[in-house]
Each structure stands twice: as structure tokens, then as C-alpha cells.
Structure 1
Amino acid sequence: MPPYWPVLRDRVFARVLPGLALSALGDGMSAVAIGWLAVQYAPHHQRGLWVGLAVAAYTLPGAVGAIVLGPLLRGRGGAHLVGLDAALRAVFLGAVPLLACLDALTIGRYAALLAGSALLSAWGSAGRYTLIAQVLPADLHLPANALLTLITEAATVAGPVLAGLLIAWLGAPAVLAVDAATFAVLAVCFAAVRARAPLVRRDQRSAGLATIRRNRELLGLTVLSCWFFLLFGPIPVAVPVFASSAQDVGLLYTSFGVGAVIGAIATGHLPRLPLWPVTIGSVIAFGLLLTPLGLGLPRWADLLALALAGLAWAPYPSTSVALFQRAVPAERLPPVLAARGAVLVVSTPLGTLMGAPLVQAAGAATTLVACGIATAVLGAVALVVRVRAPMLRASCN
């Protein structure tokens, strides 16, 4: 607890953390419901395709929003960006159960509403981490990042279990109704502190992608993250097909969440972690630990493999963002993190779209094995590049 205490004592974070935790729980529940609802409404012979489209629709439009809405949002403070994203999600996600109650929900309308809810997702994510850089000193960035990861991953422990129970009782649309309500609470929480957070000065706005291109380390990190999330993309498609029921999907996601929670706690307690080695090591370990999931092992072994994969995954969000926070001044972070988010928002849905026909053709188990091996290879390549880069610079000099 000691590394988190200074973060929790900050007045801004004390106001928004309850909303972040509640919203994370709602999203943890939706991780099950989004794919499962697509399975229910899609034609039977196209289930894999529509699950992929639904998962992609919940993230991909964020890249469009990051680019198209950039001129309007670059001057906003971190809290304002989160509040706008949360309000939009509350409206569009709330429309899904409403249409379901009216018996007017179709798979096409469902995908369209998911897409609308995700339009500001890159800016909302940028806002969270920008707020950290705006209100906390540099030595608290990694613990604060880890705290956000901890909240998110803890929700994947309880959220899928609650989702399984709620789906069995009231159906999948009820889960999205709960998620919409939690986003409404989050919007109110951030609206209450918006004026207290330092805003970006208009004379210091910068193009995010240009900043990343000019910094070799940030460019390399963005490329690594792009491929990492691309290879992760097929997993949300494979898991619902790999599982035998909504409750089984919940158990698989919960196992991953348990490992990720432990990893996030450990990350926050190690504020002096070497950021680059841990970031690359997380990619390699995640790939190696994901591979056994598709080898036909007993279900308990699948759950253990996912728990260990979650443990390996947990440091990556915190350390990769900390590298950006360390390299870019706080007043310039929103467009830079939004640009990073736009790249990643494209990567995961693109991987998901690629995963849909892959799952359809090769099966869920084969897809999981292929993603695990490819991710481990990606990490190994990043390690070689990272080790050789200083040698090449020295030889040039």
C-alpha cells in the first residue's frame, strides 16, 4: 500500500477513483457481454465474423475520433477528455438495452451503437494518463499508472463472474445497461473536478504523431505496442468460441484478471523498475504463457495459463505509458497519448478483424497458439533491436 498512498491522498484522484473503479467494473462485465450478445444476434454460420466485428466496433472508431476531432480536443485538460468520453459511452451503450427491450435490436444496429460509443476512446485514455502527469510528480507516475491498471484488471476478476450471473438472470443487454450507468457516474465524477485540473496551454499544443516520429525511442515503443496489440486482437474472438458457455467465458477472463491484478500490485511496489527491460520482457512472457491455452489441456490448466499470462501482461500498460510520461512534458501529453491511442485503437480491432476469419478457418485453439508464438517472437525481435541500437550508434560515432 505505501507506494499507492501518496496517489490516493491527492485531492483530484480521491474524487475520480470511485468513478474509475465503478466504470472499470462495468467494462469488466461488458468484456463478456459484448461478444456473447453478438453470438446471440448473429446468424449461426457467421458467429465468428460478427463477434469480431462487434469487438472491433467497440474500439476501432476511437482512431477516427483521435484524428478527426484532434483540432477540437487538443486544448482540453485530462479530466475533461475523460468526462466527454464517458458521457458518450453512457448514451450509446444505454441505447443497446433500450432497443433490446423494444425488440428493435439487430446485429447491424448493435455494431453501430458500439461504434458510436467508442468515438472518443483514444482521447479518454489519453485523458486518464495526462491527468496523472498534470497533478502528480514524476516519481509517482509509475505507481499511479499501476493503480489504473490494478483497477482495470481487478474488474476483470469480478466483472466477468457478475456478467455470467446477470446474463443467466436477465440477459446480455442488462449487462450493457449496467455499463452505461457506470459511465454516466464516471462522467459526473470527472465533470466535478474538471476546473481543478491544469489545462493544456493553447500555445503549447503539438501534433502527437509528429512528436512520436521525432523521438526514436517513442517511435520504437509505438511500433512494439502496435504489433503487440495487433497479435492480441484475435484473442477476444477466440475465447468466446473456445469456451462452452457464458459462465465458462467468465471464468477464463477472471483467471486472466487474477494474474493481472497480482502483476499490477507488484508493479506499483517497484517504482524503480527498469522500464524498457520490463516492457519487452512482458511481451515475451505473455506470448510464451498464452501458447499452452490452445494445446488441448484440461480446463484447470487453461485457467492457470491465463492467470500466468495476466501476470506477465500487467506491467506493460504501466511501464509503456511511463516511458511516454518521462519523455514528453505534461502540457504536451494529450495529443501525443491520443496519437498513441489512435495507433493502438486501430491495432487491436485490426487484429480482431483478422482473427475472425482465422478462428472461422483454423479454429479457436489454433488461433490462440499462433498468437502466442507470434507474440513471443515479436518480443525477441524487440529485445535484439534494443540491445543492438546502442552498438550501432557507437559504431557510427
Structure 2
Amino acid sequence: MTTTQADTPTRSDSDARRAVAAAGIGWGLDGLTWTMYSFALTVLLPVLGISTALAGWVTALSIVASAVGGVVCGVLADRLGRVRVLTWVIIGYSVFTALTATAQDFPQFLTWRVLEGVAFGGEWAVGAALVAEYTQAARRGRVLAFVQSCYAIGWAVSTATYLLVFSFMPPEFAWRVLFAIGVLPAAVAFVIRRTTRDRIDLAAITPVRHNRFAALFTRGQLRTTLLATLLGICIQGIYYSVFVFLPLFLKSERGLSVIGTASYTWVVIIGSFAGYLASGFVHDAIGRRPTFALFFLGSVASIGLFVFSPIAHPEIGYAISFVLGFFASGQAGGMGAYLAELFPTTSRASGQAFAYNVGRGLAAFGPLSVGAWGTAIGLGTAVFWVGAIAAVLGFVALALLPETRNRNILADAVGRRN
């Protein structure tokens, strides 16, 4: 018998809206705290005696730590529930972001960034699993893309905070204030914990001793797990290689001031928000694989335009920046829906966390390569080549993965309950 989303265990529409709000707010706050690093990087390097190459290592190790944290949180979410773990990770990344403000040297700075990375890694997969289980199959792409777009909102708040703080305080002190503000999102976690609940009672459909993580590597699931992880590497390799070094590129290679850097970043953020939302509708209209392919091509083209085109005419530079944000961010918009559709309910958060966060951990070689190659071939050229290589590997993953548009992801939960 074929099941539909309506056949599965239900919650009210208000529960669904709260789940979307919880995941969206969590991901937006994730964007707020994470992107602070890119802005602070422009001034903290000389203050703490950190080279560009070491900055690349900080980014890389933080992303690797997020892979570990993400997998652990995914497994916990499949065992203890989505909402409970989502609350923990929001508190974690808020506190460790604030503690970064206390760093006095490179080892301390690295320690806090790595610990923030552990908590940061858990948010996306847990929130995406929660929302995917509430959303109708025909709308899953756009709803999950909306949640993804909240990252751009957090990035916008981070940019506004950067502009405000750095305009009124000396740079050597302002970066500490920027990180200290990162503790504020912790208060949101308590609201989420009290108002949001899971769609599925995992304990009712899975034996306590069932190893949810090991299920990812069984004969029937291993191929999907590995290919989904490769896709995660490629998507995030493009994203982080572009946006971690964006403020530094604008300042060092374009010679822009704080205000000039913020202006271009605003345009990129607007493009990112539009790209996330647009990709969701395209995913629901034509499918997961063709949409990813389209945005991969657009990402490589827009990166090339951005780093190799002069910005003597600001209106041209702004237009290119918008396109860069649209494609380089929009290519990640379908990850939540696609990964949710590739893994079964009992190991969904574990699978999404593994593919997304191990993918992110290995994608750390992207920023690491940019930092290492940048001194030899230029920062912009390094970003372009890392993005192009990631896109080619992404096409390989897409060719081998199935199309999953309109898949009922809770059919297995119905079967187990019955």
C-alpha cells in the first residue's frame, strides 16, 4: 500500500510553524555567530600575531570540529529527540562565540573557535530533520530552502553589527565586542525548548538498542551515505572558500574600507537570501539533481566574474556581487530537503549530520587550500580554482545519486508503528 504524508503521525499546523521557526531562528543565529569570524579576521590577525596561513588552519580545524560535533548531535537527535538537542547546540555555539572575545593569543583563539565549531556543527542537521518531518513532500524544497535562507538573515545582522561596532570603536578592541555579542542567542534556546516538539516519537518506532549510526553503513545504505557526503563536501567547499575570505579579499585585493567592505557584503547577502529562496522553488519544480547542477554552473561562473573583474564601476561590481551570492549560497538551498529524502526516519538526523558535517569537515580543505595557495597565485585565483574543482566533483555525485522529489519520507515510520 502506498502511503502519503497524511497517513503518517500528525501534529497541528501550529506545531509545524513552530518547528520551522525554531530551525530557522537556530540556523539564522548560527549564521550570525559564524560570520562574525570573517569580519573579525580583517583586524585580529595582527593583534594576535596570526598569519593568513594560520587563519586558514583556524577555519579548517573549526570546520573539522563541526563535523565531529554534527555527527554526535545527529546521533543524539535520533535517540533523544530533535528539539532537545537543538536547544543544546544553540546554547553551545553562543557561549563559545562569546568566549572567543577573551582570546589573548593564537592557541586560545584556536581553542574557542574549535569548541564553537563542535556546537555549530550540530544545528543544521537536527533542525533540518525536524522541519523535513513536518513538511508536505511537494513543498519540502521551498520550506527547507527558507530555513536555509535564515542563515543569510543572521549574516545580515552580523554585517550590521560589524559596521556599527567597528565604526565607533578602535579595531583592536572592536573585534572582541563583536564576538562577545554572540552570547545573546543563548536566550532563544530556552524559548524553543518550551514551545516546540518533535513530529515523530522515535522511541515508539525503534528499539532502544538499535544502532542508528551503524545503519548508515549497511549494505543497502552505504553507497547513498558516501555519495551524499561527497555532495556535502562539494557544496560546502564552494560556500566556505568564497565567503570565509570575502571580507579579506575585498580589503586586501580591492583596497576597500570597513564601509566599502560592508557595502559589497550587503549586496552579496541580499543575493544569498534570494538564491536560497529561489532554489527551493526550482527544486520543487524540476527536481533535486537538475537544480543542483544549474546552481553549480552558476557558482563557478559568478566566482570567476567576481574575482577576475575589476570594480572600477561600482554598479557593475554590485551586480556581480549579487549574482555571486545568489548562486554560491543558493547551491546549498536544497541540501536540507535532499538529505532528508535520502535517509530513513530512524537514522535521518544521523545521516543528514554525517553527510553534511563530515562533508563540511572535508570541505575544510577548501579554505585551507585558499589560504595556502593565496600567497602564491593570489587570493581570488585560489578561491576560483577551489570552487571549480568542487563543482566538478559535485557533478560526479549528482550523476550517481537518485532523484527524490516528492518522496514520502515518513512511510517507513508508518510501517514500523503498524
TM-score (norm 2): 0.77
Cα deviation, 1:252-279, whole Å, max 9, x if unaligned, reads 3322221121122323445333111101
Contact 2:38-2:245 within 8 A present in 1 as well: no
Contact 1:267-1:315 within 8 A present in 2 as well: yes
**Greater alpha carbon shift after TM alignment, 110-119 vs 72-81:** 72-81
Question: What's the CA shift for 1:66?
Answer: 4.2
Is 2:90 the partner of 1:90? Answer: no
**Greater alpha carbon shift after TM alignment, 19-28 vs 295-304:** 19-28
Contact 1:145-1:322 within 8 A present in 2 as well: yes
1:277-356 correspondence runs (5 A): 277-298=290-311, 300=314, 301-356=316-371
Structure 1 residues 254 and 60, CA gap change in structure 2 (3 angstroms): farther
Task: Give the distance between the partners of 1:143 and 1:41, measured in 2 at CA.
Answer: 43
Match for residue 81 of structure 1? 85
1:257-296 correspondence runs (5 A): 257-270=269-282, 271-296=284-309
Is 2:221 the partner of 1:214? Answer: yes
Match for residue 39 of structure 2? 33
Match for residue 413 of structure 2? none
Question: What's the CA shift for 1:302?
Answer: 3.9
Match for residue 55 of structure 1? 59
Contact 2:268-2:322 within 8 A present in 1 as well: yes
Question: What's the CA shift for 1:325?
Answer: 1.7
Contact 1:51-1:237 within 8 A present in 2 as well: no
Q: Which SS does the other structure have where 2:332 is aligned?
A: helix
**Greater alpha carbon shift after TM alignment, 203-212 vs 338-347:** 203-212
Match for residue 385 of structure 2? 370
Contact 2:41-2:248 within 8 A present in 1 as well: no
Q: Which SS does the other structure have where 1:243 is aligned?
A: helix
Q: What is the identity, as a one-letter code, of the residue corresponding to 1:200?
A: L
Question: What's the CA shift for 1:286?
Answer: 0.4
Task: Give the distance between the partners of 1:311 and 1:50, measured in 2 at CA.
Answer: 29
Question: What's the CA shift for 1:386?
Answer: 7.2
Q: What is the identity, as a one-letter code, of the residue corresponding to 2:54?
A: W
Q: Which SS does the other structure have where 2:104 is aligned?
A: coil
Question: What's the CA shift for 1:40?
Answer: 4.0
Q: What is the identity, as a one-letter code, of the residue corresponding to 2:292?
A: T
Q: What is the identity, as a one-letter code, of the residue corresponding to 2:32?
A: G
Is 2:183 the partner of 1:180? Answer: yes
Question: What's the CA shift for 1:113?
Answer: 0.6
Cα deviation, 1:51-88, whole Å, max 9, x if unaligned, reads 21332344321223345677655412122222111111
Contact 1:287-1:375 within 8 A present in 2 as well: no
Q: Which SS does the other structure have where 2:364 is aligned?
A: helix
Q: Which SS does the other structure have where 2:144 is aligned?
A: helix
Match for residue 242 of structure 1? 249
1:3-22 correspondence runs (5 A): 10-13=16-19, 16=22, 19-20=25-26
Q: What is the identity, as a one-letter code, of the residue corresponding to 2:304?
A: T
Question: What's the CA shift for 1:367?
Answer: 1.4
Match for residue 131 of structure 1? 130
Q: What is the identity, as a one-letter code, of the residue corresponding to 2:338?
A: L
Cα deviation, 1:92-137, whole Å, max 9, x if unaligned, reads 122233x2xxxx6223211211111121333322111111133333
Task: Give the distance between the partners of 2:302 and 2:329, measured in 1 at CA.
Answer: 13
Structure 1 residues 386 and 130, CA gap change in structure 2 (3 angstroms): closer
In structure 1, list runs of 5 or more residues that go unmatched. 1-5, 388-397
In structure 2, list runs of 5 or more residues that go unmatched. 1-11, 252-256, 403-418
TM-score (norm 1): 0.81
Identity level (%): 15
Q: Which SS does the other structure have where 1:198 is aligned?
A: coil
**How many residues were matched structurally?**
374
Is 2:152 the partner of 1:153? Answer: yes
Task: Give the distance between the partners of 2:73 and 2:28, measured in 1 at CA.
Answer: 27
Is 2:253 the partner of 1:254? Answer: no
Contact 1:263-1:314 within 8 A present in 2 as well: yes
**Greater alpha carbon shift after TM alignment, 314-323 vs 113-122:** 314-323
**Greater alpha carbon shift after TM alignment, 375-384 vs 273-282:** 375-384
Question: What's the CA shift for 1:150?
Answer: 1.9
Out of 197, 200, 215, the position equivalent to 1:198 is 200
**Greater alpha carbon shift after TM alignment, 85-94 vs 137-146:** 137-146
Question: What's the CA shift for 1:281?
Answer: 1.7
Question: What's the CA shift for 1:243?
Answer: 1.9
Task: Give the distance between the partners of 1:209 and 1:360, measured in 2 at CA.
Answer: 40
Contact 1:221-1:320 within 8 A present in 2 as well: no
Q: What is the identity, as a one-letter code, of the residue corresponding to 1:275?
A: R
CA RMSD of aligned residues (A): 3.2
Structure 1 residues 133 and 369, CA gap change in structure 2 (3 angstroms): closer
Structure 1 residues 193 and 63, CA gap change in structure 2 (3 angstroms): same
Task: Give the distance between the partners of 1:62 and 1:212, measured in 2 at CA.
Answer: 27
Question: What's the CA shift for 1:138?
Answer: 2.8
Cα deviation, 1:228-270, whole Å, max 9, x if unaligned, reads 4335443345434322244344333322221121122323445
Task: Give the distance between the partners of 2:145 and 2:61, measured in 1 at CA.
Answer: 27
**Greater alpha carbon shift after TM alignment, 161-170 vs 372-381:** 372-381
Structure 1 residues 354 and 23, CA gap change in structure 2 (3 angstroms): same
